Each structure stands twice: as C-alpha cells, then as structure tokens.
Chains A and B, each alone.
Chain A
Amino acid sequence: MKVVREIYDFIAGGSIAAPVGLAIAILTTILLPHLDPAIRAGMFVAIVVLTLAAATREKVA
C-alpha cells in the first residue's frame, strides 16, 4: 500500500483534483466525437486549465 502511495505521490504530487480533472478532460473528448473539432480541442484545454486551478486550490502538500 505504501508503494502505491509513493508512486501516486510521484506521478500526481498527492493531488486528487489533477487526475480526476484529467480523466474528465480525456473522457469528455472521447465521448463527444460528434462535436466540432475546434470546440472539442477548446474544451479539452479549458478543462486542463480548470484542473490546474482546482489542484492549486487543494490543501498545500
């Protein structure tokens, strides 16, 4: 369990918002293929920016 925690901390820096936000960005892009490509690209970038904001609002690690 400690090893898993160490790997998680190494990759995500202990953030919960970062992997969750990134998963939402990826799933939104995959699940909405019918949208205009420019809108999909813009949505992806916007969700990553919001993910950065959410991760920054988390408790200081």
Chain B
Amino acid sequence: MNGWVLGGTTFLASAVEMVEAATIVLAVGITQGWRTALTGAAWAFAALAVIIVAFGPVLARQGAITWLELIVGPFMILFGITWLRKAIWRAAGRKAMHDERAIFDKEVAMLQAARDKRVGFATSFQGVFVEGLEVAVIVVTFAATRPALLGWSIWGAVAAALIVIVAAIVLRAPFARVPENAIKAVVGVMLLSLGTLWTGEGLGLRWWAGDATLFWFIGIYIAAAALLTLAERKPVTA
C-alpha cells in the first residue's frame, strides 16, 4: 500500500473537515477576539492529538493485522457510505449544499448575542473537536491496518489542518468557494475502497490484484456514485 494513498486520503478528509471548523473559529475570532478563538482551537487539537497518540501506536504495534482489518474495514465502509451518500444527495439536489457563508453568518449572530467569552471558547473548541474527531478515527484505523504508514496518515491530516487554519486567519473570510462536495465524494470513495479491501482481507478473501485491487474499487465506486447521482436527480419541473 502506497503511503501517498493513505496520506492523501487523510489530507483530503482533514482539509474538508477543517474548512468547516475554520468557519466556526473565524466567527469566534471576529466576534470575541483571536485569543479566545485560537485557545479553544488549540485545546481541541491537543485533545485530538491525545486520541491519536494514545490509540495509533498501540494499534500499530499489534502483530495480527487480520482481526484488526475485520474491525477497522467495516467502520471504513460505513464511514465511506456516509460521506459518499451525502455527496450524492447534494450533487443530485436532494440536500442543500454546505454553505460556509450562511453558517458563518449564523455563528456570528449567535456569538454577538452571547457576548460571554466562555461561549466563544466552547464554540471554537467544539467546532474543531467535532469536525476533527472523524479524521482522528480515520488516522487511528489506518494505523491499525498499515502500521508502517502511520506517519503518512498523521502528516496528511496535520498538513491539511495547518494549511486551512493559517489560510483562514490570513484571509479572514469563510471558504465559500472550496469545492467541498467534490472533496467529500473523493474521501467517501477512498474510505469505501479501503474498507472493502481490508474487510475482504480480514474475511480471508484473496483479491485478484492484491493491494492494487484498491484501484479497481475506486473505479467501481466512482461509477456507482455517478449512476446513483443521475438516478437521484430531481426531475426539472416547468
């Protein structure tokens, strides 16, 4: 398994989650000051780091990978289906697109009404922690199945988080034009593909092209997602 595949997946997953977290941190920073916003975000990152450091190396040290694949693989499939079906719904017009500008305006209004700095801290902490938790779980589960590539998963997630947070602070505006839905679809396809590969291995299936079967799965799920988007599209009414 190539480190770029796992690192790239955690990078994209982290990027899209951090775009959502950055909107909240930005709203807190603008209404209640950057100290409150960044302190809340820093504590959330510390909590996420504890989760990764506590569980990642422990799982990575496990000798028998097969049983771990049988636990981790189904989780990845469920995560992948959740991400991908939301992207399909949005692409098909069944669910509203994620509007960072609208979320930002709503957060600003709520924080201006609250005024209390503790609300700002809690909002910033919760925003980063909740959005980052799924990424932390993905990094830990990757560590369980491909221990040698733990560093790739961690650095993929950290790099994306740093890029997005720094960009948000510099630009001081929510990322309204980031193609979030397309990125979510890519992450969904990757999680589903990796989950299928690992669950199958855990069940004793022999994939026809070894680890390279992953690219077959990517193709199959992209095709399935495209067909489902067409099938789910609402008919245009005059």
Give A contacts to B, CB under 8 Å. 10-13, 15, 18-19, 22, 25-26, 29-30, 37-38, 40-41, 44-45, 48-49, 51-53, 55-58, 60-61
Across-interface contacts of B225 in A (CB, < 8 A): 52
Total interface residues on B, CB under 8 Å, equals: 32
Residue pair B89, A56 in contact (C-beta under 8 Å)? yes
User: Is chain A's interface secondary structure helix, strand, loop, or mixed overall?
Assistant: helix
Q: State in angstroms the CA–CA spacing of A52 and B224 once bound together.
A: 8
Question: A15, A37, A52 — which one has the most chain B CB atoms within 10 A of its CB?
Answer: A52
Give B contacts to A, CB under 8 Å. 74-75, 77-79, 81-82, 84-86, 88-89, 94-95, 133-134, 192, 196, 199-200, 203, 205-208, 217, 220-221, 224-225, 228, 232
| B55 nearest CB across to chain A (Å) | 16
Specify the chain A residue showing the minimal Cβ separation from B89: A60
Question: A15, A25, A29, A45 — which one has the most chain B CB atoms within 10 A of its CB?
Answer: A45
Across-interface contacts of B232 in A (CB, < 8 A): 56-57
| B231 nearest CB across to chain A (Å) | 8
Can you pick out 30 interface pairs between chain A and chain B where the beta carbons lie within 8 Å of each other? A10-B133, A10-B134, A11-B75, A11-B78, A12-B81, A13-B82, A15-B78, A15-B81, A15-B82, A22-B74, A26-B203, A29-B200, A29-B205, A40-B205, A41-B200, A41-B205, A41-B206, A41-B207, A48-B196, A52-B84, A52-B224, A52-B225, A53-B224, A55-B81, A56-B88, A56-B232, A57-B232, A60-B89, A60-B95, A61-B86
